[in-house]
Amino acid sequence: MTRTTGSVVWIDWARNLRTRTLAQRLGVDVVEIRVSGNRLLRYLRSAAHTLGEIRRRRPDVVIATNPSLALGFFLLLLRRWFGFALVSDAHYVGVRALHGGALFQRLLDFHNSRVDLVIVTNDGHASYLLGLGCRAYVCPDPLPDLSSRGSVPVSLAAKSAFLVCSFETDEPYETVFAAFERLHAGGYQLYVSGNYRRAQVDPARFPWVRFLGYVPEAEYYSYLRSCSLVVDLTTLEDCLLCGAYEALAAGKPLVLSRTRALSAYFGAAAVLTENAPEAIAVHVEQAYTQRGELTRKIADWVGANERYMGERIATLRGELAALSGGRRVPELVDLE
């Protein structure tokens, strides 16, 4: 089979909102490969599916979502035989290893230094990669179009806060629970998404919290649209949170951790807090009482962000076209 000139394919071994929204804006086909079984079986089956797609499509450029790093290394091998340019779309753990894992960090650095381009979400990660001699480009997530998401009826309290949570180690969820123990007396109700059982959280310890568990997509977005405000927190400095994009797309007042990346990108449209119960409680009350003003700020931010993302995506689309033609653009890295 001959190669189609200028063809680009995006391969993801999971299901990521960023992959779908960014690929749609770029006009790139996405191949989501999700198989069940133990880890070794998943990797083998996923690799076989990936090889089949590369053989069938013969792309000029392959974009791979990282994680999975296993996918990234497999595509580095395939690049030797098929000759495509390899682009990594790196989430947080596609650039920096959690918990200071030295071996995993070396593997990440090795991978990122050998792909043709790494797309990252923020300047902090771009600076780190630039120091390794990598080529990097900053492109945050496009805001998702929530009008296409389903909805189901949900009933929430008047002062309802929705905590977007995956119960990962970087999320200070018990600190949020402690803050709402204080707020509950004032009529605030906290609703929490995510599989709390995976983190061995006992709901009986937090009777003032409504644990929703892992809910279907339509129900998740119904809570997001219906709540009074959204809370999404992390302890990681260079991490832009998916829940923040979703909350702003829904026009919801938003409380975020006061980290470097979140402050720089979302600060004009969100209430920023330290990850401490007293501070979270104060800033949740602030977001609720100032929700009218915040709604106006969000509308302004969304308009400015659409113009910014238009520029980011246009430049990235041009780089993909250059890679398709076998050319490289050395001046692509542009920290802002």
Query: Does some domain include residue 251?
Result: yes
Residues 191 and 112 both lie in one domain: no
Query: Does some domain include residue 282?
Result: yes
Query: Does some domain include residue 310?
Result: no
Q: The domain containing residue 211 runs over which residues? A: 146-300
Query: Does some domain include residue 12?
Result: yes
Query: Does some domain include residue 274?
Result: yes
Cα–Cα distance list, 118 to 21, 147, 158 (Å): 17, 31, 44
The CATH number assigned to the domain holding 88 equals: 3.40.50.2000
Query: Does some domain include residue 319?
Result: no
Half-sphere exposure of 231 (CA within 13 A, CB side): 35
Residues 219 and 187 both lie in one domain: yes
Residues 194 and 271 both lie in one domain: yes
Cα–Cα distance list, 125 to 168, 276, 329 (Å): 20, 26, 20
Q: Domain boundary residue among 101, 121, 139?
A: 139
Residue positions counted in the chain: 336
Residues 290 and 269 both lie in one domain: yes
According to DSSP, the residues that pair with 136 across neighbouring strands are 118
Residues 250 and 198 both lie in one domain: yes
Residues 293 and 178 both lie in one domain: yes
Q: Domain boundary residue among 104, 139, 174?
A: 139
Residues 183 and 269 both lie in one domain: yes
Name the one residue in this structure whose structure tokens are 């009826």: 153
Q: Domain boundary residue among 139, 170, 199?
A: 139
Residues 64 and 118 both lie in one domain: yes
- From the list 156, 69, 153, 54, the residue with the least C-alpha distance to 105 is 69
Residues 32 and 102 both lie in one domain: yes
Reading the chain (336 residues) residue by residue, the pLDDT tens digits are: 334 446 999 999 999 999 999 999 999 999 999 998 899 999 999 999 999 999 999 999 999 999 999 999 999 999 999 999 999 999 999 999 987 789 999 999 999 999 999 999 999 999 999 999 999 999 999 999 998 777 888 999 999 999 999 999 999 999 999 999 999 999 999 999 999 999 999 999 999 999 999 999 999 999 999 999 999 999 999 999 999 999 999 999 999 999 999 999 999 999 999 999 999 999 999 999 999 999 999 999 999 999 999 999 999 999 999 999 875 544 444 444
Residues 188 and 265 both lie in one domain: yes
Residues 183 and 199 both lie in one domain: yes
Query: Does some domain include residue 307?
Result: no
Query: Does some domain include residue 308?
Result: no
Q: Output the six-digit token pair for 101.
A: 């894992």
β-pair type (271-273, 254-257):
parallel
Please give the model's pTM, rounded to 2 decimal places.
0.92
Distance (Å, whole) CA 73 – CA 85: 14
The domain tally of the chain equals 2
Residues 168 and 193 both lie in one domain: yes
